[in-house]
Amino acid sequence: MSRVIGIDLGTTNCCVSVMEDGQVSVIPNTGGYKTTPSILGLTEAGKRLVGHLAKRQAVTNAKNTVFAAKRLIGRNFDSPQVQQLRELVAYKILEGPGGDARVELAGRVFTIQEIAALLLREMKRVAEEYLGEPVEQAVVTVPAYFNDTQRQTTRAAARIAGLEVLRLINEPTAAALSYGIGRGETEKVAVYDMGGGTFDITVLELSQGLLEVRATGGDTYLGGEDIDLAIVHHLMEAFEKSDGISLASDAMALQRLKDAAEKAKCDLSQVEVTEINLPFIAQDEAGQPLHLLHTLTREQIEGFAEELVENTREICRSVLADAGFEPGDIDQVLLVGGQTRMPLVQEVVTDIFGRAPYRGVNPDEVVAMGAAIQGSMLAENAEGPLLVDVTPLSLGIATFGGHFTRLIERNTTVPTSARETFTTTRDDQESVKICVLQGESEHSDDNDLLGEFALTGIRPGPKGTPAIQVTFDIDANGIVTVSARDTATDQAQSIQVSARAVLSSEEEAKLAAEFAAEGEVALRD
């Protein structure tokens, strides 16, 4: 059997790891880098550029280069997050036939699953070159706060890439597994995970033979990209004020600003002041070149980041309360994700938990390492900590009057099952529509619609008489299956929830066949 790899499919970077001789190794790509930018570019000739090659040509080919696609995973085109992102990127985001968000590059429309699949296939290729053998199975990480649709979308992307996903594992759980393996200590651990696009906080208990998640929370649209874009807006406003020219419609200028903002943010984690120098950023009405020279301070970017970081404080407090812990109960705090290198983030984390975070893990690599450890355990039936995870969001159905009736509360241990009996609201009603929702609002319209199906063949009778039994099942990957049964007739219907933003089985099969047929066509690092 081929070895199982662990893949961290990140908003900003991807990372792949594998277990070798009992040790976990992060696999470098062809260029020698241990992380690969989550960027895809398409040249005029139709060649695909993945990773560093895509990033290097982004300035001159901004409209045909997609970054931060993870922020679109499992989202409908009309969602506020997608509409916000459309205003901030040079590439086109379009509405797909099912209402999902898709991306247009060089005249070709890509589904988000396809973009994610190209990144996953690159990680597969990197691993195969390193190992010298085919790789067919992987453990893939997802943000702990991903909903069911986002998890299904990630699994679909892996299948398209030719990978069997043995398990989806939450990113903080993977990090805790990497941290805790072989320690043999009993600890309460908080994993604070802020990457490029998402934020998670997970509280776990580690003991010999057990890694138990007590509570998790987060925001799937909060991360370093938001700080980068705030810096870009600042630079655009400063340039327009000094030179009277807006750069908002100049794709090349926007990409240069984005690259400069990211670099300045990283620099200001080490120094107090940095200078941004972008020559020939625009030209005036007479055709004379204009240059952008701007000084940026750590205090300024902390001002841009302050609201975002403070939002994480409230989420941390809520998760600690759900876990039944006080901040002083936490023995160790792990920082995961590149954005946690920011001094402001580290200060806030220290303030929240009353202790300095642990610095013994690499925030860019620890998630992929934990996924590889889990993959090795699953493939070899090896001994290791038993992982006990939770569902991050409440699950239920829409009921009469626009209410949301929970069947499974957030932070319930998975796998799990729940059952409840409902009835009809009209006389002689012969069918009911089951709308499956995920979220925390008491109002059904404010929660995420995961899917819907109809139960027909109900025995006619006065309203309130039929007994309709609804059952929810969640597996270890967080995938939801829902069934409904009329107890009088035993008529039943069930679905594995599949929302609009997930590809149909036919679309997925077509993409998978195309990937398999085209082979090694992409240019790579």
Q: Which residues are catalytic?
A: 8, 70, 171, 193
**The one-letter amino acid at 354:** G
Q: Are strands 395-399 and 403-408 parallel, antiparallel or unpaired?
A: antiparallel
**93 CB-near residues (< 8 Å, 6+ apart):** 72, 77, 82, 85, 86, 101, 102, 103, 104
Q: Quote the tokens at residue 406.
A: 């929970």
The H or E element that residue 26 is part of is strand 23-26
Between CA 417 and CA 440 the distance in angstroms is 19
Let me know if 418 is exposed, middle or buried by CB neighbors in 10 A (0-12, 13-18, 19+): middle
CA 352 to mean position of chain CA atoms: 24
CA 475 to mean position of chain CA atoms: 19
Between CA 14 and CA 36 the distance in angstroms is 5
Strands (E), 195-238: 199-207, 210-219
CA distance to 224, 409, 472, 483, 493, per residue, from 433 (Å): 41, 22, 15, 12, 11
Q: Tell me the backbone φ, ψ of residue 444, rounded to 5 degrees.
A: -60, -35
Q: Tell me the backbone φ, ψ of residue 392, rounded to 5 degrees.
A: -75, -20
Return the number of other C-beta atoms located less than 10 Å from residue 96's C-beta: 18
Residue with tokens 């893990």: 361
The H or E element that residue 422 is part of is strand 416-422
The answer to whether the beta carbons of residues 11 and 196 sit under 8 Å apart is: yes
Q: Quote the tokens at residue 262.
A: 């990211």
- DSSP secondary structure of 320-335: HHHHT--GGG--EEEE
CA torsion sign for 349, 332, 211, 195 is positive
Residue with tokens 């589904």: 111
Q: Tell me the backbone φ, ψ of residue 207, rounded to 5 degrees.
A: -150, 170
Return the number of other C-beta atoms located less than 10 Å from residue 494's C-beta: 14
The answer to whether the beta carbons of residues 342 and 315 sit under 8 Å apart is: no
